[in-house]
Amino acid sequence: MHAALARLATLTLTLTVATAACVAAPVVVGSKRFTESYILGEIVRQTLQAQGIPAEHRQGLGNTGILEQALASGAVDVYPEYTGTIVRELLKRPQGNASPTLAELNGWLAPRGLKALVLLGFNNTYALAMLESRAAQLGITRISDLVQPKAQTLRLGLSHEFLERGDGWPALKAAYTLPLAAPNGLDHGLAYDAISAGRVDLIDIYATDAKVGRYRLRVLQDDLGFFPKYDAVLLMRAGVDDRPLARLEGRIDAKTMIAMNAQVELDGQSFAEVAKQFVAGTVPVAGAGRQSFISRLFAPDLAALTVQHLMLVFGSLLIAIIVGVPMGVAAWRWPRSSAWLLGAVAVLQTVPSLALLAFLIALMGRIGLGPALIALVLYALLPIVRNTHAGLRGVPQGLAQAALSLGLTPRQCLREVQLPLALPMLMAGVKTAAVINVGTATLAAFIGAGGYGERIVAGLAVNDTGAMLAGAVPAAVLALLVQAVFEGIERRLLRQSIYAD
């Protein structure tokens, strides 16, 4: 009897713990790196939380490809997307199927383990725009007018994603037989200021951008009907319960979305605050005051971002020391290997950070902390390997020979004599790696790994210098603190080395 009761109690406890774990697992909401996506991601998160469902928002995750990978790996459960993007960019469907019904769309998504539900209520199509004054001067009202000789001098400022998308510049250029050459990419958050300042003449925009009226832009007519409908929906993994999000169906029309975008981009409110007003049913109020820099700097998320940044920097640094010191020892022990070992880690430093992150996402099939840590480890190897090698080479041979003559094995000599003497030089390499990683870790926000980069990326999305500085200043302060700490360690080690001599 007692044994049966014990088994029943154990089973009950196990089920309780398992149920609690399932309940505690939050729904992970993703978003892309532009204002509207941030706001919609926050609305989804707060809508779930208002119903007692744990949810977190991994914001600013770059382009469609990264979000697709995040859904496939389970790193993200749901994110706001657009039907035209799903058809053209994700499913790679031909142009004739650009505006399917939701049922057709879900039929195509089902084999991928995805579903698109909750039509939010607005169509945010792509468009091309020029300053009204410049367009009137050249007599340009339609996209097809861009084939005229007078349009050949136009300077294009197109976003990086638009230049690469299947429904972006390459296909648009082919459809309209435009003779214009592809330009260098320009971040969407900077495009409006660039066109206002006269640095570019033509930019790609979203139909719900808040700045179209403010900057007096003429939206060019898509006279060939190239752009499909981009109805805003929630794209999610098939296993996600969509019922708690059904209350968002049809609630956000184009006017409301433009107003919310304006609250962020023109009035300086935070994404979370604008979403909070919408979820609470408050009418958006234009003209709200901007937050001061101090309030942004010491916002409630500072502690969490600091912990995330420290984990990225020192987690990667620890792994780099564990990997890099033996590599430096190997390069010293076997001189013939030193050229290619040092050359290999030096080449890693030349790989652009975002390119390396994209490669690691594809290789690992996930986003977030894992790819970010590996990238930071690879960037930290060079100074650690090089300084370990240089420090060991600087140890006088006579000391090693004396240690060996006293009966120490080569391994004991390395551990007890050579490495301690090379330690000041080795620590200088560790310091360099740590300081480099403090800055490089800000790029981890592009793949959802958190840290101070979240503020920088969000500020870049809306071209808000204050928001960017609220992330850059803590990163700079942390870099100075890390450098000071390691310099103190170096001085102490140097004094110990002198006294030992």
Per residue in 227-278, pLDDT (tens digit) is: 888 999 999 999 999 999 999 999 999 989 998 998 988 888 889 999 999 9
- Tell me, what's the pLDDT at 8? 34
Q: Do 277 and 415 have their domain in common?
A: no
Identify whether the C-beta of residue 471 lies closer than 8 Å to the C-beta of residue 459.
yes
Strand partners, 27: 55
**Residues 122-131: pLDDT tens digits?**
999 889 999 9
Angle at 286 between CA 465 and CA 204, to 5 degrees: 55
Domain count, the chain: 3
Query: Is the separation of the CB atoms in 156 and 130 below 8 Å?
Result: no
Instruction: Specify whether 358 is located in the same domain as 240.
Output: no
466 in a structural domain: yes
Q: Residue 364, class by beta-carbon neighbours within 10 Å (0-12 exposed, 13-18 middle, 19+ buried)?
A: middle
Same domain, 165 and 252: no
Neighbours of 287 (CB within 10 A): 8
93 and 192 housed in the same domain: no
Which pLDDT belongs to residue 5?
33
* Residue 224 domain flag: no
pLDDT of residue 449: 85
Model pLDDT, residue 499: 55
Regarding whether 415 and 342 lie in a shared domain, the answer is yes
Angle at 217 between CA 215 and CA 222, to 5 degrees: 150
CA–CA distance, 254 with 258 (Å, rounded to integer): 6
Which pLDDT tens digit goes with each residue over 325-350? 999 999 999 988 888 999 999 998 88
pLDDT-flagged residues of the chain (< 50)? 1-23, 286-287
E strand or H helix at 435: helix 419-440
Is 29 within 8 Å of 80 (Cβ atoms)?
no
Residue 2 lies in a domain: no
Question: CA-CA distance, 3 to 9, in Å (whole number)?
Answer: 10
pLDDT of amino acid 95: 60
The strands making up 156-157's β-sheet, listed across from edge to edge, are 156-157, 202-206, 126-131, 217-219
Are 189 and 239 within one domain? no
Instruction: State the CB neighbour count (10 A cutoff) for residue 207.
Output: 17
Average pLDDT score, the chain: 86
**155 vs 151: CA distance, rounded Å:** 9
Please, are residues 198 and 157 in contact by the beta-carbon 8 Å criterion?
A: no
Evaluate whether residue 18 is within a structural domain. Answer: no
What pLDDT shows up at residue 14? 43
Asked if 356 and 466 sit in the same domain, the reply is yes
Q: Are residues 406 and 327 in the same domain?
A: yes
CATH label of the domain that carries residue 64: 3.40.190.10
* 55 and 182 within one domain: no
Does 382 share its domain with 493? yes
Distant-in-sequence, close-in-space partners of 299: CB < 8 Å, separation ≥ 6 = 470
Q: What angle do CA 482, 483, 487 make, to 5 degrees?
A: 120
Range of the domain at 115: 25-123+230-290
Q: How far does Cα 29 stand from its chain's mean position?
A: 14
Residue 500, pLDDT score: 54
Contacts of residue 295, Cβ cutoff 8 Å, sequence gap at least 6 = none
**Domain for residue 258, yes or no?**
yes
Residue 450 lies in a domain: yes
According to DSSP, the residues that pair with 96 across neighbouring strands are none
Residue ending a domain, among 186, 219, 252, is: 219
CB of 115 within 8 A of CB of 106?
Answer: yes
Q: Tell me the torsion sign for CA atoms 397, 399, 402, 403.
A: negative
Statement to judge: residues 130 and 114 lie in one domain: no
Task: Quote the pLDDT of residue 285.
Answer: 52
Residue at 332 is within a domain: yes
The CATH number given to whatever domain includes residue 469 is 1.10.3720.10
For residue 158, what is the domain's CATH number?
Answer: 3.40.190.120
Among 193, 219, 245, give the residue marking a domain's end: 219
In a domain, 11, yes or no: no
Alpha helix stretches (DSSP H) within 246-396: 254-265, 271-279, 293-297, 302-333, 335-349, 353-364, 369-393
- Same domain? For 268 and 175 the reply is no
